[in-house]
Each structure stands twice: as structure tokens, then as C-alpha cells.
Amino acid sequence: MKAKEVTLFGGTGLIGSSLLEILLKDDRYSKINVVTRRSFLVNNSKVSVHLIDFLDQKAIEQTLENSEIVFASIGTTQAQVKGDKDAYRKIDFDIIYNLAKACKKHQVKHFLFVSSQGADHKSSNFYLKLKGEIEQAVFDLKLSCCSVFRPSLLLGKRNEKRPGEQIAQWIMPLFSFLIPPNFKPVNAYSVAQSMVNISQSNPKGFNFFHYQEIKDSLL
């Protein structure tokens, strides 16, 4: 089987860093374009780092035009954007939508991105509503193959401090047996491994992967 060229957007975050680690070890991938908003050094011949403005559509297209698969694990928090909802939307909606449009234009075989459990464009919650809106917008583009991952609380060590989330990471696993399946906490590395596994299967159309589907894909 011919090794594939892929593009990864968001290679420094909790899921993105795990994705990069997994892709580097996988011989099925010959070249990994890591697209980032800030300086990033990887000492590996398979990796080509692209430092761009994520809102620059032309720059986005140039990084993925030869890729068969595109991974996106991009997001922010209210704290990082200082409560600015417009800035939040530019990251969580505009960037993903621009990536999806670029995938459509260059006929990328498989686009995979991270959303959130509970995403619903009709939700009264700003975060969940925004996630639902980007899912709907990407769906409307009718990509040949798109996989959306909807994890709940992510377990793993983040670079930035999120006190509330850190407390939840300690407490929620203790009561996981009481939590409905789709809302169970899941390790970020498991989500990343699931994304890589699913990227090889090329399911047709638009597909969601919740807790159980993520777990099943690891078997």
C-alpha cells in the first residue's frame, strides 16, 4: 500500500499533539504537513511545518493540496479570547469551515475534525450551539468523506491550566459508571488513535463518532 501524505491542523493541542505522535510512528503516512499558528519545531524527516494565518484561505489551501487526508483539532476557550465571542467564533467556526472548503476544492479524500458531545445548532449554550453550527455548515458542503468526533471531557495533560477541567478530570472517572455512554470522559490519546484508525477506513458521507464509536474503533 502506498504511503499517504496528510495535513494536520492543530498539532500542539491535547488531541493534536497525540495525533502527531501517532502519525510519526505509522509507516502508512509518508509526509505530515503540520500547520500551526505559532513556531513549532519537529525533528523528523516526515514532517513539514507550515506557520500560517489560519484565516488566510490561500495559505490553508497550499498546505493541503497534495494531501489525501486532513485532520483538524482546533479550538479555544473563553479565557483565551477574554470572553470575546466574535474571536471565539473566528477560531472554532471560521477556521474549520475554511479547512472544509479547501478540502472540497482540492478533493481531499477524508476530512476529520473534532467537535464536542452535545453539539447542537439549536442549543442555548454558546459553545454547544457554535459546535453544532460548524457541523451543519460542513455537512452542507457535501464532502465525499467527513468524520466528526464528539468527545465529552478529555483526559490528558494540557499545556495551559484549566482549573475547573483539571478537577473534573480527577472526579468524573470515579463516577464514570453512572454517566450516560456518550458523556463519559475519554483519553485524548484514544480520540487521536481513533481518528487515525478511522482515516484509513474512508466511510462515505458525513459520520459522527461518539464515545462508544471511538472506543470500538480502537479494537
Taking only the tens place, the pLDDT of each residue in 107-135 is: 999 999 999 999 999 999 999 999 999 99
Whether the model clears a pTM of 0.85, i.e. scores above it, the answer is yes
Average pLDDT over residues 165-191: 71
Predicted confidence band of residue 75 (pLDDT cuts 50, 70, 90): confident
CATH H-level superfamily of 4-216? NAD(P)-binding Rossmann-like Domain (3.40.50.720)
Tell me the H-state helices in the chain. Answer: 14-25, 57-64, 85-89, 96-105, 126-140, 163-171, 188-199, 211-216
In sequence order, the β-bridge partners of residue 145 are 205
C-alpha cell at 24: 510519526
Average pLDDT over residues 79-101: 92
Average pLDDT over residues 6-25: 94
pLDDT for res 188? 94
Residue 166 has pLDDT above 90, yes or no: no
pLDDT for res 182? 82
Q: What distance in Å separates the CA atoms of residue 53 and residue 36, rounded to the nearest whole number?
A: 8
Residue 178 has pLDDT above 80, yes or no: no
Average pLDDT over residues 139-144: 97
Q: What distance in Å separates the CA atoms of residue 133 and residue 127, rounded to the nearest whole number?
A: 10
* Cβ count within 10 A of residue 108: 24
Predicted confidence band of residue 198 (pLDDT cuts 50, 70, 90): very high
Average pLDDT over residues 34-40: 87
Residue 36 has pLDDT above 80, yes or no: yes
Average pLDDT over residues 39-66: 92
pLDDT for res 160? 54
What would you report as the CA-atom Rg of the chain, rounded to the nearest whole angstrom? Answer: 17
Q: Calculate ∠ Cα 189-144-60, nearest 5°.
A: 65
Q: What distance in Å separates the CA atoms of residue 2 and residue 30, rounded to the nearest whole number?
A: 9
Mean pLDDT of the chain: 89
Q: What distance in Å separates the CA atoms of residue 125 and residue 119, rounded to the nearest whole number?
A: 9
Average pLDDT over residues 85-102: 95
Predicted confidence band of residue 142 (pLDDT cuts 50, 70, 90): very high
C-alpha cell at 141: 458542503
Instruction: Give me the residue label for grid cell 452542507.
Output: 140
pLDDT for res 80? 85
